[in-house]
Amino acid sequence: MRKTIVFYAALSAAFQVHAQSVSISDSFASLENDVLKIDVDLNTGAYSGIDKLDGTVLFKDATFLLDRGLKTWAIPRQLIKAEEIHTSTGKQLRIWYMPEAGYDPVRFLDLELPNGAPNLILGWGVKNQFPYEIRVREADLLFQGELFDGKEIYHPKVLRGGAGAEPNFVEDTWEINALNSVMLTYTRASPNARKTLVVGGLRYREFYRKIAIGNAEPIGTDKSVKGKPENRPYLTVTVADPQGKRIPPNTEWKSTDNVYLDFTTVDPFESLERYGRQLALANDANPNVYNFPTLCGWMVSTQHLGEGKPINNSTGLVEQMELARKRGLNNFASLAVRLEPDYYCYHDQGDTQQGWWDDAHWAKYGSLLAPYESFSKFSAEINKKGGQVFTYFQGSMPSNDFAGAHPGWMLHDDISLLHVDHPHQKPLVRFDYTNSDFQAYLLKMWPRLRNDGVVGIKFDYPETAWAWHGGFDDNTYTTTSAYKKVFELCREGMGSDAYIHERIIGNSVHENVPRLDCTIGTVDLQRVWSDASHFEPEMASRIGLRWYKQGVAMRYYPDGKSFYTNGQPLSKKNRRTFLTLIGLLSGRIELGTSIGSMTDEMFSDLTRVYPVLPNGQAFRPVDFLLGKIHPEVYVYDVSSEWKQVLLVNNGNSPKTIAVPLSGDQISTGSLGFDPNKRYLVYDFWNEKPLGIYPGDATLRLTLDESEALVYAVKELKEQPQIIGTNRHVMCGMFELANESWNGQEKSHAFTADLVPGEPMKVAIHLPEALDLNVANIVSDTAQSTFQVTGNYLFISLLTTNSNQRTAVQVTFK
């Protein structure tokens, strides 16, 4: 069981939902709470959703279909009835659809209002009344519910719930076809101008989700099938799987997969963030935090992405770890070194390490070298130097000799195409992760690897484990659940604190499989880009526009990054830009530059982003609805009085970015401050106070082309206050604590966490009204110096011993 996360963000007072009720008559049923109502017509089986806060019919006349296929035949007469289901989590209304003829199985739709929440949960199940097994592949839990109630809407915008390397942009339309989830927001003439809909997968077990918003399409082949009027907007939400779920004869089965639907929360930020939290809770997700850089042995070893330096082996990575230790990286963070045994099928008649996964085969193909010819020896040496060991597996690309030794562990029990040459990433023989003997093998291998000191696994080519065509030894699995099993076995064997990484690219090169949220709760990290050691704006925005899942349900990152391009070092600006964006939006930095090739300035800049942000909150792209391709303004609420602001110039020329300090965040992209107060602004990378701004002002800052900068913005107090440091991009959130002011004694105190040999600079604003002059600065364990410039006091603290916390007191006269 994964450890669960406690989210500090509670429901707002407006959504403390209490009263719930179910009403059932012969021809009508309803389910409602304080904010929403679901009406069901038991004559037709159609249902509608009403926002009680403003009386809006968000969708109407939706129905529930099962495996409708490409054309819907004449629908047989069916009996529809409703019943109330008692649960511990909230009121639930079950709608039964019972055909009186034909071959359709009985099905039911569960409509649930969770206790204390403003959203609806859609569940479902099937009762197979036949004497033979049936296979369910698609369930349209909400089929063609008409949107907008015939009213005109304005400024519609949609955002797909991207996963893996799927592009996700805000689009100026209400039409979309998406996987995982969708947000739709728009305005109306009246009342309560804005409406927002968030719909997507909630609990994932055996199916994935498809969401379509668009005009109706003809679905029938017979005039008796009543199609929906065309050229109207409809919402369809589908639970799907290529193989589907087998249901035995005369069996009632309830799916554990369900759908989240919120159409009462007006604020799209709040609606998406609530969904992200519920997605995490439903799947017991608490992604492990990559609070350290990862050195990718493979990337460094390549010429086109790295340096061509042959360090992708145990001895090379031990040398790199020793360099990191000597340079003092352990004072800031550990280093993970990732050994990638990526030997492919072309070199030894299709024989590789894959499947064997033992020291002998990793050594045979050059990954483990003496004197570290085993993972236990390799890990012990890395651990001794303060690092940790990651490695690499290929999803379903078995070595030919392994497949030949275990043909029953392959899909379809078939190795008949073992002789056929193929691209390495498109094998013709693949593992069967549902086979009980293979599972037992893996559950011996994974703990052995963990006992040998490996703590992180990158799954490369996971697309190969998406078995469209089945072939499972255990046919109770769906394609989705068999895919999830790859990672679940690793999690079970490696433990809850292991770092599991799913490199799900999903394009035509790797096999065009769906990029899904289905591994949330098992996987910690997904990659959002194909192999790339450079940086470009969309890498950040793919992560930034998933902020409601980032560090809550999943973590995302854009592949390793190099401090060099074509052998030349990046400019300081470009280096700091990618470190800032990846460090703050992702929290996972992977290095394509060896430790030995970093200059002191590169090394120092890298350490500015550690530790990374904890789970539970991410930088919010406050301007994401303002028509920009990529967000330019991200905000992190450290407290009600302090926000960290990340500004990004995604263009190729200097640009002034204007950010209102207050105002409606949805329509203006504001920082969300109080217009009646005043605020201090501090530029972290340039170590520069930028002055005092009234809360109703607009912050206008000019950034160079392709530049990202971080600013601390704090509410002005009538006492000395810290506004920033040079230690960390969050400007004191991690390294400073216990700040206090004693007005009677005119003393300002705080504690600072220092790194040996590195001066920590602390910037303090001195209010003019108090007319303060520094009398003395005392630090209990560090040397201190200071300088006053205008209304700012700059203190420098230095320790030559180990990492330590020092208490500092500034006395004024």
DSSP labels for 262-293? E-S---HHHHHHHHHHHHHHHTT--PPP--S-
Residue 224's pLDDT is what? 43
**What whole-number distance in Å separates Cα of residue 559 and Cα of residue 165?**
10
SS3 590: strand
CATH of domain 23-282: 2.70.98
Place of tokens 């890498």: 539
Place of tokens 């074509």: 566
CATH: 1.10.287.470, 3.20.20.70, 3.40.1170.60, 3.40.50.1370. Which one for 294-607? 3.20.20.70
The per-residue b/e assignment along 334-350, b for 16 or more CB within 10 angstroms, e otherwise, is: bbbbbbbbbbebeeeeb
Give the Å distances, CA to CA, from 625 to 182, 184, 232, 614, 629. 14, 11, 24, 26, 10
For helices 572-581 and 600-607, angle between their N-to-C axes, nearest 10 degrees? 20
CA atoms within 13 A on the CB side of 13: 0
**What whole-number distance in Å separates Cα of residue 435 and Cα of residue 472?**
7
**What whole-number distance in Å separates Cα of residue 323 and Cα of residue 333?**
14
Residue 429 neighbours by CB distance under 10 Å = 24
Give the pLDDT means over successive 10-residue stretches in the chain (813 positions).
Answer: 43 62 97 96 97 94 93 85 90 96 96 94 98 98 95 96 98 97 94 90 98 82 55 93 98 98 97 98 98 98 96 98 98 98 96 98 98 98 98 98 98 98 97 98 98 98 97 98 98 98 96 97 98 97 98 98 96 98 98 97 98 98 97 98 98 98 97 98 98 98 98 98 98 98 97 97 96 95 96 97 95 96
DSSP secondary structure code for residue 554 in this structure:
B
Q: What are phi and psi of 22, to 5 degrees?
A: -125, 135
Cα-Cα end-to-end distance for the chain: 58
Residue 15's pLDDT is what? 54
**What whole-number distance in Å separates Cα of residue 383 and Cα of residue 699?**
47
**What whole-number distance in Å separates Cα of residue 650 and Cα of residue 631?**
8
Amino acid in position 41: D
Residue 228's Cβ-count burial label (10 Å; 0-12, 13-18, 19+) is: middle
If phi > 0 it is left, if psi is from -120 to 50 it is alpha, else beta; for residue 476 that is: alpha
Q: What are phi and psi of 768, to 5 degrees?
A: -60, -35
Contact in structure between 375 and 358 (CB atoms under 8 Å): no
**What whole-number distance in Å separates Cα of residue 609 and Cα of residue 589?**
9
Residues 6+ apart with CB under 8 A from 600: none
Residue 17's pLDDT is what? 72
Contact in structure between 781 and 741 (CB atoms under 8 Å): no
The per-residue b/e assignment along 19-47, b for 16 or more CB within 10 angstroms, e otherwise, is: ebebebeeeebbbbbbbbbbbbebeebbb
For residue 245, which of 503, 495, 472 has the smallest C-alpha distance?
472
If phi > 0 it is left, if psi is from -120 to 50 it is alpha, else beta; for residue 514 that is: beta
pTM of the predicted protein model: 0.96
SS3 316: helix
**What whole-number distance in Å separates Cα of residue 779 and Cα of residue 760?**
13
Amino acid in position 626: L
Residue 221's pLDDT is what? 55
Q: What are phi and psi of 551, to 5 degrees?
A: 70, 10
Q: What are phi and psi of 157, to 5 degrees?
A: -145, 140
Residue 116's Cβ-count burial label (10 Å; 0-12, 13-18, 19+) is: middle
Place of tokens 């008649």: 349
**What whole-number distance in Å separates Cα of residue 22 and Cα of residue 30?**
6
In the chain, CATH 2.60.40.1180 covers 619-716
Residue 69's pLDDT is what? 87
**What whole-number distance in Å separates Cα of residue 650 and Cα of residue 648?**
6
**What whole-number distance in Å separates Cα of residue 288 and Cα of residue 551?**
9
Going along 614-707, which residue ranges are E strands? 620-621, 633-639, 642-648, 655-660, 678-683, 688-694, 698-703
Q: If residue 488 lies in a helix (H) or strand (E), which one and from where to where?
A: helix 479-494
Alpha carbon dihedral 540, 543, 547, 553, in 10-degree steps, equals: -150
For residue 672, which of 708, 644, 710 has the smallest C-alpha distance?
644
For residue 240, which of 464, 478, 517, 520 has the smallest C-alpha distance?
478
The encoded tokens of residue 736 equal 């400073």
Residue 12's pLDDT is what? 45
The encoded tokens of residue 645 equal 């602001």
Architecture of domain 619-716: Sandwich (2.60)
The two most distant CA atoms of the chain are separated, in Å, by 93
How many residues make up the chain in this entry? 813
If phi > 0 it is left, if psi is from -120 to 50 it is alpha, else beta; for residue 393 that is: beta
**What whole-number distance in Å separates Cα of residue 731 and Cα of residue 633?**
17
Architecture of domain 721-813: Sandwich (2.60)
In the chain, CATH 3.20.20.70 covers 294-607
In the chain, CATH 2.70.98 covers 23-282
Residue 220's pLDDT is what? 61
Residue 44's pLDDT is what? 95
Task: Estimate to the nearest angstrom the gap between the alpha carbon of 369 and the chain centroid.
Answer: 36
